[in-house]
Structure 1
Amino acid sequence: MTSYLLLIVCLSGSVIYIGSQMQHLSKQAESLENHLKYTTQLTYNLEKHLLEIETGMRGYLLSGDMAYLEPYNDGKSLWSGDYNALVSELSENPEQQRNLEELKKDADAWINDVVDPLILLRQEGNSTETLKKFRTNSGLQEFEQLRIQLQSFKENEEAITGQQVDDLNKANQAMVLAFYASWFGIIILVLIVAYITSRTVVGTIGQVTQLINDMTTSDGGRRARLTLKTNDEIGDLVQATNRLFDKYEQENWVEKKSNEFAMMYFEMKDTTELTDAFIRTLSAELKLPYGAVYLSTVTDGHEYVRTATYAGIQPLIDKDTVAFTLGEGLVGQCARNRQVIKVEGNLTDTKIVSGLGHTTPRSLLLSPIEFDGSILGVVELASLQEFTEMEQEMVQRVVTALGITLHNVQRGMELTSLYSESQTMNEELMTHTEELQAQSEELQVQADQLQTMVNQLENQKQLLETQSAEVEESKMEIEKYAEQLEESSRYKSEFLANMSHELRTPLNSMLILAQFLSDNSNGTLTEDELDYAKHIHSSGTDLMILISDILDISKVEAGKLSMQIAPALLVETMESLERDFRPVADKKKLQFHVQTQADLPETIQTDPMRLQQILKNFLSNAMKFTEQGSVTLNLREAHSHELEIYALSAETQPYLAFDVIDTGIGIKASEQGAVFNAFEQADSGIERKYGGTGLGLSISKELARLLGGMIYLVSKEGEGSTFTLLLPVDSNVAIARQEDAEARNLQSKAPSEPIYEQSAAALEVVEEAPAERLVHAKGNHVLLVDDDPRNIYALTQPLLARGLRVGTAGTGKESIEYLKEHPDVCLVLMDMMMPEMNGYEATRVIRTELGLDLPIIALTAKAMKQDREKCLEAGASDYISKPIDTAQLFSLMAVWISGSSN
């Protein structure tokens, strides 16, 4: 009993000592892991705050928007807090603290010497001097040096941690040696006691001692176990010793492999590379025939895509990308449960393939990859044997370490992407500025060339007049000069047609760029530069109108203006004209009425584009020459006596009349015949008040003739004018009769008063809120939905400038989630063409599932009838076509915001 008691006491002391040492080592490993995780996160935060300071400074300097100072101030505040936390965490590491002090000194110098002076100078309102100093000393080199210092600090910390891991392993080996030493002491003590007690016990103890000696002298692999089987306490000792060695070796092996995996992937910067290396190493270590890693997608977060495999084979699946949604299959269920899933048995539906054939695994093990409460992915393993507890424990630990590393790699990739995008945007802005300057210079050259061409045309006109006078002097020279005149006119028309077309192409590009600068969405232009851009756009627009008019009149004179007869929707035509001219009327504070007689046909056979061109010319003149009062667009059936006056027959088909009535300056009776001549106007005096080329009505007259109709005018000076377009329902039938109708010059028989019936009760006055009403909508919350970041950026700035609070969403799903979280949104601007969930689907969900009746304005690529009807059927309140005219958009928003608030 004495020997047994001594043996028990020694064994107990050894077990307690070993257990305490293993617990101590485990705590050290956990502390080391937490320390590395914490310092890595703080280092990432410091780099993120520096980037926020630099981005906020850059955005404020370029735009002057105080909103950019919020990330700048937050970055400075959070930088100090995270820096102090990191210094406190490294209190026992003087070398790293010195590195941090050097980093803080450089960061403070960068902020105090570069960032703060530039911001102060911008706040004082000196934007020109600010940009000049920003270009010469933007602090980019100092900022890059800070990033390099942070990277060096991170690498030092990883090296120090790696050294600590090595020290931990050495301590672990020392504990093993201590364990063996303690066992050796126990053996000596047992031998002494056994020699004293009994030879039987001595013999038994001798066998145990021999087995222990064999085990302690074995090589570095798995040590031999005691095989002595007795029914006494010595047998229990043998079994306990074997179990102790088993447990110790298992934990030691798991701990060693976990540490190796933790240190193996520090240098990897890509998630695909990381997961591929991980699954190959783990499968090889556990001798598994198959393994795979599934990562959560960045955009959705509820789908898990296979990114890496070990011994996987593609033809066994039906699609190129293997993915599981949350709860789908074992992978999706593992992510939902956030727990390890183990499946054992004869898994006949799962195949492990080799070159000689395939076999069935006996066990599947799935483990979620988790970090800070989020499921980043799932690891799936297959084995031909059942997974042991030791293997499961190892998988659990290495997957936990993978979650930390994977999170750090993902954050690093996001940071690199943000920095690259910032640099690209700055370069694009400089490039656009240079291109605009070059095109402005090119436009000036083209304008000079056009003026020269106009002068040449005037000289040619004078020359032709001279030639005409000379032709009258001699009958013999009439034919000669007539041929020269015809040829010269033809050359002139062809030259103008070709030259006008050539000028429109570069001019159109200039107009787009000038409009972009005029909008000044990023607020970087000075007042002078903004004024220049507006003058460029205004002058270019006038030049485009002039070129278009010259082109049309040239085609008419050259006989090359052809009609494209097709069905024209009358309702759509009238709605389009109302949309185009409603803002003009609101700006001039004119009443604008659009009215249509009932029981008219839905469509007519004509050229829809030329019809709109005529009516737009009428309305443009009416708006231009009317200072107060009203402008009315009236569609009706032509009267029989009206057709008789102008020799138009309604026997084969009916005619429609389009009246444009204004209360403007009117036209003198002596000048009414001249307004339809090219390059002439009613106000054709030396000091012209209203501008214009004088070609519009001349072109409209020819277009009406080619469409089988005609135009007549009724006007009284000081009281207003009425321009009437008579147009057949089918232009194909009427064109054959137009030569006879034109032969009768009945313009002089025009009635003294407008010929149409009008009732004050068919007249509908619609008041629309102008864009200025948006000023009263300051503080309203607007949601902008578009998958293109450039469109988001271009529209956000002018909305913010008008005092609106703007939220953004990149997809239809994001817009739905945003509306759930922000019930104060009063209006939605919805892009219709988006991936995944388009604007039509998102609008239906907002109307049906969310039950919201707030205004939704659709942003469409075209404004065709079928596109607009599709938007309205989906639940949209209104629509606007791309490219978006901001003035038209603000006017439309003002109507709906005002209506919803009332």
Structure 2
Amino acid sequence: MGKKLAKATRFETFGSELLDYLCPLLGAGYGALYRSGGQDGQLIVIGSYGCEGRHVDQAAAPGALVAQCARSGQPIALDALPADYYRIASGLGDAPPTTALLWPLPGIDGVAGVLELASFRRLNEVEQELMTQVTQLVGLALDNLANAARTRELLEETQAQAEELQASEEALRVQQEELRAINEALEAKNRALDEQGNRLRASEEELRIQAEELRTTNESLSEKSRALNEFNERLLQFQSEIENKNRELEAASRYKSEFLANMSHELRTPLNSLLILAKDLADNREANLSAEQVESARIIFESGHNLLRLINDILDLSKIEAGRMDVQWEDVDLANVTAAIERQFRPLARERGLDLCVEIEPAAPPTLYSDGAKLQQILTNLVGNALKFTHAGSVTLRVERAEADLLPAAAEPADWVAIHVVDTGIGIEADKLARLFQAFEQGDGTTSRRYGGTGLGLSISRGLARILRGDIRVRSTPGQGSSFILVLPRDASTIAIDRAAAPAAHATATATAAAAPQTEAVTQDPHPPAAPVAARARAAMPPDDRERLAPEDVRILIIEDDPAFARILADMVRRKNYRALIAGDGESGLELAAQYRPNGILLDVNLPGMDGWAVMERLKAQPLTAQIPVHFITAADEADRGLALGAVGFVTKPATREAIEAALGRVLKAAAPRRPQRILVIDDDDGARLAVCRLLRQPGVEVTEARSVADALQALREQPHDCVVLDLMLPDASGFDFLDRAAELRALPPVVVHSARELTREESLRLREYTDSIVIKGAQSPSRLLDEVSLFLHAVQRPAAIATPATPQPADLAGRRVLLVDDDMRNVFALSRTLKAQGITVIAAQDGRKALAQLEQHPDVDWVLMDVMMPEMDGYEATRLIRSQQRWAQLPIIALTAKAMKGDREKCLEAGASDYLSKPIDVDKLLSMMRAWARPR
């Protein structure tokens, strides 16, 4: 056994073999061997006996009994161990030992370790003597093992260092070889440098000579550079002058366009009265004019119409030049456009003995994504010019796919269409082609010219073509005829605008919304200069019939600021035995509408103060006036906007007598009691049909049901209907078949397609022949369906929006309260005195913060008159803070301002004001406005 222990080289091997020998020899059931050398004086277990599956401290702490034995160097014996101290287990059972023994293991420099045994008996004297000798030997053996371990570590470290040294020597050898090679290369380079130095010394003399020559050249260049700098300075000054001139020209062009637009609009007002009166005289209703006088009136009427055409051309040109021409992008059917042109000019061509031909090549696209109205205007100008300058032969309108030589670079011919207008007329001289499209340029501009015209048509046409992302080309041979070619993209949305080719069109064609603020001033109902407005506002309006009204009288309210035209409208109303009420501004019109409840209203847009759009919105917002039919008669060319607001019609000034009589007829027809309106609902799904019928059934509306095409056609034969709600999937035929067959019976009423079926492009185009209203069944379809039907039937309204009888408006303003917010005490005093005379209680505040405090103290005020310009908190901020509280969300707030600048009204309304009035305050207008906004008590 001693030989075996002597061969052990590892602590663990030594410990295991020692305990495996001693424990059986001494009858111990447990044994553990610890060695010194752990951190913080701990003893490390290097062997154990009888401890399989049991815990043995791998490191004994300094306070433990094992550590105490090592520290004291004395054996420790424990007898009569408790039952839970430790249990010695075997396959047959386990039991606690009766004694535990710990021996220190002396080494050369101190205790080398501790041996711990546990047994069921105490050791006898021989065994104790044996352990005394064994512990000495084991201690020395542990020291030897520790020394051997340290020796091995040093040997391994030495070997590692030897290997590193060998690697370093190899690296050094390689570096020496590299340095030797580098030295050889450097020696070669030195030799080469010596040779180069010799050559450089030879070149220095040459360079010195060249430097002398360069000095002379530099002096010459310096003189030239100074002269060039002086020239550049003059050039920059010239460029600056050109830029200033360009800005002046742009400003002059803009001012000219705005002037033309405003003057074109302003001319319409007197021209409106002139045309109506001239037509009335020419008709000679009372037969009291001579034939010569009738002819004179007719000449005045025709001359006025010619003047109107010129004004329209000037207005179009000014819109194009100013970049304010609106574009309505849509799918345009070319066959429909060319058919309309043919219908328009066929009688004129026949009268002049010319052939008018329309050709559409098969390769041409059937539709364009463009603006149909502007496309038709361009072709009208081109075909009209061709007929005017052609005396014999023909005029041909041909649609084909564009040729490559007509297109911009890199454009695909398949993506473009060319519309040719070819004539066999007089042709155009080559020297006139370059300026043909300039404004007021004519083919024959001499004093003896044969052909009339202003020379605006081609300029307008090219401007419109460029707005539509295209252009107009011209080819002509004098004496043989001309060909004007309109080139347009199939889909204008994919074409970028050429800023250089169409500077005026750019702002509009990209998106009219970008120029909306400027466009309003021209395209919506441009306000004329301040002086004419003020003059019309001050002019005395003609007397009306309010003093002679009887309950049974039909009364028409005329809201028009032009006294002459108001008198004409009143006379036409009286000729029909109706009564006329006249208001010269929007506020007065609202007051008369609420007081007299007219049968209809004729409304102008261009009114002083509140414009016609605002009047229309207020009329429709008040339950007392919401159902009164309103017809616009105005110079503003915005029929879509007027109809969208709920007008029954729209006539653009100058208006003919027939147009005004037709407007009166539409108003009275809308106001007259009508039969219940009928809706035909066609759907084979009983549940869906019942749901739609319940949705649409309202007072004054009859709903007829049909579950098949045959039932629907029979319903249409029995009685007329005002609207049809159609499902496309029916049991006996499709919805398309129904539309085709129903159109043969009688005029088809408006149709709303209500179907769950997804439509193909061809099916959508086929439906467009009958309707643009298509509602796909889904979660939002009931609301959409009701909206679409409501466009056709004024009686169909949302249940929540049905007007209920309202409390009549007060006859006066006595007993109400107003909060007057103004920092100028003179204004507060003057307005308070006026309002108190009406029986109104006035509460004053000097700024926005005090106004909010007054509202807290007096929450029952009926109005707030809010000055805009105030210290600390202005009227805009105060209005926003008032509106931010739900309890004051409906409180009428009338903004008062002394600026009266463009956009003030919109800014006040955006902040939350109910209405707007500029200073100096017109008391009558203010009281009228307060009456209009007075809430029921």
Q: What TM-score, normalized by structure 2, do the two folds share? A: 0.28
Greater share of helix: 1
Q: Which has the larger radius of gyration?
A: 2
Q: Which has the higher contact order (CA 8 A, sep 6+)?
A: 1
Q: What TM-score, normalized by structure 1, do the two folds share? A: 0.29
